[in-house]
Chain A
Amino acid sequence: MTNTQDQDTTLPDVTEAPNPVIRTMRMLWNDKFAFVSVVFLLIVLLCAIVGPFLLEDAATKQNLRGRNAPPFDFSTAWPYWLGGDALGRPLLARIIVAAQNTIFVAAGAVFFSLLIGTTLGLIAGYTSRIISQIIMRLADIIMSFPSLLLAVIVLFMLDSSVFNLVIVLAITRIPVYLRTARAETMEVRERMFVQAAKVMGASNGRIIFRHILPVVFPTLITIATLDFAFVMLAESALSFLGIGIQPPEITWGLMVSQGRPYLTTAWWLSFWPGLAIILTTLSLNLVSNWLRTALDPAQRWRLEIVRKKNG
């Protein structure tokens, strides 16, 4: 009897585990949209980190002769190329400086809600019925409360600092991850490979982190990127109400709302920060799309096949 008769001959033999870093870079290069998005996000990140140190002064200096200065006037200094705001402050410099607060609030809120929501969701999905019920009812309470109202109450009582804003936004977004993680966990835990791990004697921790989380994670990451945009807008709404970020601190959302009264006469006040929000969200979406494919061994070939076509 030939034991190897049902051998799969269409695939090349892999003798060594491929280097994961090189492989990832190659897959990223093959998806041009994702590649451009990553480059854009790196630029945004760079602005967020070093922007305030270099441009803090330029961004806050008022210049009443340049009030609502129109964009694309290249005779002026470069921070004014995208125009000036109502107090004559250069828009480009302000956008770069505002990146720090915006990214910090959004990334912080998304990160904490993702972390807490996923943890609770996995616990609720995998452990006993009672714990699951308690966690789910807590989530229901948060969800039944309008998130903006909750934020208004909490921020009214506490100081309206960047850190408090992150906490409030994180709490309101926890149920989204929690419910998704729980639902997926309950589906995955019944799959046979989980049963197989149990038969081998795997601990609960091992089953959750090695077998369930990798299957659930791509879905959560996709939600997280969509949520990123939501949080940015929620933050601007709170800032608009005067309980979020307080001037002179700035964020993109605050800039959009500050430009609102001038929309008919000076559109660029709201347009540029709005564009920054849109591009960041779009890039995150494209990257998460790529990530979902890259993380799935069964789908990964889609990103590797392009390489062969390109030679």
Chain B
Amino acid sequence: MGERLLDVRNLSVDFHTTHGTVHAVRDVNWHLDRGETLAILGESGSGKSVSASAILNLIDMPPGEITSGEILFEGADLLTMHAEERRKLNGCRIAMIFQDPLSHLNPVYSVGFQIAETMTAHGQSKAGTRAKTIELLERVGIPNAETKVDAYPHQFSGGQRQRIMIAMALALKPDILIADEPTTALDVTVQAQILTLLEELQQETGMGLLLITHDLGVVAEIADRVVVMNSGEIVETGSASDVYHNPQHPYTKQLIAAIPGNGIMAQQLDQTAPILQIEKLSKHYGAFVALDEVSLTVLPGETVAVVGESGSGKSTLAKTVLRLQDATSGEALFEGRDLVQMDRKDLFKVRRDIQMVFQDPTQSLNPRMSIYDIISEAFVIHPEILDKQHWKARVCELLQQVGLKPDHMYRHPHQFSGGQRQRIAIARALALEPKLIVCDEAVSALDVSIQAQVMTLLKQLQDDLGISYLFIAHDLLLVRDFAHRVIVMQNGKIVEQGPVEQIFDAPREAYTRNLIAASLSPDPEIQATRRIALDELQGANP
């Protein structure tokens, strides 16, 4: 067996916390060859990032401790190496890009300076760095690199920032590039471009690419081999298509089953009087038009999904409907009464009927209130719902309805996992017995398998209680199995709307087609054909 580029053997990492020792990574083995893309796939807490951090010496010790194993880079063990030698390798031979490029770029230096810094830090003379920096920026697809080299990070879009991070990582032509969730914070169309860029660069330089991700679609798009991790252990490893088509381990099977986009699409509901009817709703911020004459209807018991990339105005729509901000013009009729013009008193009453579930349950629950206080606040604000003596029983009932235990009511939000917190947020919304729930990216912050559970819960609540949903999401596949109708938005306008089957099977607009083509399928074969289709589509509509 020839020498591997990178070989991780029997690696175990523990974290010592006050709650006891956490085995973050247990006895993990994997390797990476030149010119190969290896994906480490896992949900949050699976330990997928910890092993990469160990390679770059980024684990805080203490509380972390590497208890066993070795990391061989071209045969030399990184773990026994002197700190100074490792520093020389980091950035130079082994580079890394991160999930959120904004927080990893220093806002007070120009991007050119920051890219040049990686070069000078590893002993290159300052003379040629500027020319090299411009060359790199051009290579990663930044337009007008000559002038943009002196711009600051906030002057770039999210996708461009990630390109800059890649340029920075590639400055010294590393042998290994570690990408930690490189596209998670990006829109689908941008994600496709970044992944293509990474693949091209890999073919040019022949580096080994280590990709850490939670997204099977990303794996299907770019990875040669995949390592599936769950609670610190490798459960499965193999080629990307083998793992997808023949998952051996129950965890992998469960993960693949949880991916949305394979179920039966819902049929359109019979036309009845709409519960919410929005007519030409607009919202301007000065000269900027966030929402441009949007019209849509939601029927009782119906799920209407609003899909769009960032900046499409979908969150503005939610906020305007809920009167968290005032519309510039247009009307939103809820059961025939206009929400936009409504005075305080009527609005207070209508609050009971329209509720919202927010994106990030960590932030939408007050950290200083117990679960009982959070849910029963609904009854404090609207005392006509329930007498005080019944509050406790009702909170118990609501917790059970969303799949939690009544015992949980005296705990605080930080004692729950992300999925459980979102269940609490749903219970809070249900406490008011609403007719319409606006879900703003309600499951985007959750792991795939938890996502599926929460979606199932929402669907079940709709069947039981006849609630309507206005479901805002950026992920097309997610809404495919869930929505009755889909509305696609771009730049504050509705591009296309129709029954879910029509949107997915026969999209009329180019933008919708582009969006569907850019979303990644977890099946490597399907993804390959989609990739070709996308290239053609973008060739046709440049």
Binding site for B on A (CB under 8 A): 1, 3-8, 10-11, 13-18, 191-193, 195-203, 206, 210-211, 214-215, 295-298, 301-302, 305
Main secondary structure of the interface of A (DSSP, over half): loop
B453 contacts which of A3, A202, A301 (Cβ < 8 Å)? Answer: A3
Known contacts A15-B407, A196-B428, A198-B324; A297/B377 CB under 8 A: no
Known contacts A8-B416, A14-B411, A296-B368; A195/B18 CB under 8 A: no
Do B366 and A211 touch (CB < 8 A)?
Answer: yes
Do B404 and A4 touch (CB < 8 A)?
Answer: yes
A215 contacts which of B322, B368, B378, B405 (Cβ < 8 Å)? Answer: B368
**Measured between alpha carbons, how far is A7 from B322 in the docked complex, in Å?**
32
Counting CB contacts under 8 A, is B415 at the interface? yes
Closest to A196 in B: B364
A13 contacts which of B352, B405, B425 (Cβ < 8 Å)? Answer: B405
**Measured between alpha carbons, how far is A194 from B497 in the docked complex, in Å?**
32
Do A195 and B407 touch (CB < 8 A)?
Answer: no
Closest to A1 in B: B456
In the complex, the 9 A-B pairs of residues with the closest C-beta atoms, listed nearest first: A3-B403, A201-B351, A297-B412, A192-B364, A192-B363, A298-B414, A13-B407, A6-B419, A193-B366
A298 contacts which of B367, B377, B410 (Cβ < 8 Å)? Answer: B367
Known contacts A200-B377, A215-B368, A297-B368; A14/B407 CB under 8 A: yes
| Set of chain A residues within 8 Å of B367, measured between Cβ atoms | 193, 215, 296-298
Give the bracket for the number of chain B residues in contact with chain A. Answer: 35 or more
| Set of chain A residues within 8 Å of B416, measured between Cβ atoms | 8
Closest to B354 in A: A199
- A selection of 18 A-B contacts at a CB cut-off of 8 Å is A3-B453, A4-B403, A6-B417, A6-B453, A11-B415, A196-B358, A196-B365, A197-B366, A198-B324, A199-B322, A200-B351, A201-B347, A201-B382, A210-B369, A215-B367, A297-B368, A297-B412, A297-B414
Do B18 and A305 touch (CB < 8 A)?
Answer: yes
| Set of chain A residues within 8 Å of B407, measured between Cβ atoms | 13-15
Do A202 and B381 touch (CB < 8 A)?
Answer: yes
Binding site for A on B (CB under 8 A): 18-19, 322, 324, 347-348, 351-352, 354-356, 358-360, 363-370, 372, 377-378, 380-382, 402-405, 407-408, 410-412, 414-417, 419-420, 425, 428, 432, 449-450, 452-453, 456-457
Closest to B366 in A: A193
Closest to A306 in B: B18
| Distance of A21 from chain B, by nearest CB (Å) | 16
| Distance of B376 from chain A, by nearest CB (Å) | 11
Most chain B CB within 10 A, of A7, A193, A302, is at: A193
| Set of chain A residues within 8 Å of B356, measured between Cβ atoms | 195-196, 199
Do A193 and B432 touch (CB < 8 A)?
Answer: no
Do B358 and A192 touch (CB < 8 A)?
Answer: yes
Do B324 and A200 touch (CB < 8 A)?
Answer: no
Known contacts A6-B420, A199-B324, A200-B381; A11/B368 CB under 8 A: no
| Set of chain B residues within 8 Å of A211, measured between Cβ atoms | 366
| Distance of A25 from chain B, by nearest CB (Å) | 19
Do B348 and A201 touch (CB < 8 A)?
Answer: yes
**Measured between alpha carbons, how far is A192 from B428 in the docked complex, in Å?**
14
**Measured between alpha carbons, how far is A139 from B363 in the docked complex, in Å?**
32
**Measured between alpha carbons, how far is A216 from B417 in the docked complex, in Å?**
25
| Distance of B342 from chain A, by nearest CB (Å) | 12
| Distance of B108 from chain A, by nearest CB (Å) | 22
**Measured between alpha carbons, how far is A206 from B351 in the docked complex, in Å?**
16
Closest to A195 in B: B324
**Measured between alpha carbons, how far is A10 from B419 in the docked complex, in Å?**
16
Known contacts A197-B377, A202-B377; A3/B324 CB under 8 A: no
Do B355 and A199 touch (CB < 8 A)?
Answer: yes
B420 contacts which of A8, A199, A215 (Cβ < 8 Å)? Answer: A8
| Set of chain B residues within 8 Å of A301, measured between Cβ atoms | 18
| Set of chain B residues within 8 Å of A11, measured between Cβ atoms | 411, 415
Do B417 and A8 touch (CB < 8 A)?
Answer: yes
| Set of chain B residues within 8 Å of A295, measured between Cβ atoms | 368
Do B453 and A200 touch (CB < 8 A)?
Answer: no
Most chain B CB within 10 A, of A202, A211, A214, A295, is at: A202
**Measured between alpha carbons, how far is A15 from B406 in the docked complex, in Å?**
8
A14 contacts which of B365, B410, B452 (Cβ < 8 Å)? Answer: B410
20 A-B pairs besides A196-B428, A200-B382 with CB distance below 8 A are A3-B403, A4-B405, A5-B453, A7-B405, A11-B415, A13-B405, A13-B408, A17-B410, A191-B363, A193-B363, A195-B356, A197-B377, A199-B322, A199-B356, A200-B351, A206-B380, A210-B377, A211-B366, A297-B414, A302-B18
| Distance of A10 from chain B, by nearest CB (Å) | 7
**Measured between alpha carbons, how far is A142 from B480 in the docked complex, in Å?**
60
Known contacts A199-B356, A206-B381, A298-B414; A193/B419 CB under 8 A: no
**Measured between alpha carbons, how far is A116 from B348 in the docked complex, in Å?**
31
| Set of chain A residues within 8 Å of B363, measured between Cβ atoms | 191-193
| Distance of B68 from chain A, by nearest CB (Å) | 25
| Set of chain A residues within 8 Å of B405, measured between Cβ atoms | 4, 7, 13
| Set of chain B residues within 8 Å of A4, measured between Cβ atoms | 403-405
| Set of chain B residues within 8 Å of A15, measured between Cβ atoms | 407
Known contacts A192-B363, A211-B366; A201/B358 CB under 8 A: no
| Distance of B247 from chain A, by nearest CB (Å) | 19
Known contacts A7-B420, A201-B381; A214/B415 CB under 8 A: no
Do B410 and A10 touch (CB < 8 A)?
Answer: no
| Set of chain B residues within 8 Å of A202, measured between Cβ atoms | 377, 381
| Set of chain B residues within 8 Å of A199, measured between Cβ atoms | 322, 324, 351, 354-356
| Set of chain A residues within 8 Å of B366, measured between Cβ atoms | 193, 197, 211, 214-215
Do A16 and B410 touch (CB < 8 A)?
Answer: yes
Closest to B447 in A: A6
Do A8 and B415 touch (CB < 8 A)?
Answer: yes
**Measured between alpha carbons, how far is A215 from B416 in the docked complex, in Å?**
20
Known contacts A3-B453, A4-B404; A193/B365 CB under 8 A: yes
A3 contacts which of B322, B417, B457 (Cβ < 8 Å)? Answer: B457
Closest to B403 in A: A3
| Distance of A8 from chain B, by nearest CB (Å) | 6
| Distance of A24 from chain B, by nearest CB (Å) | 15
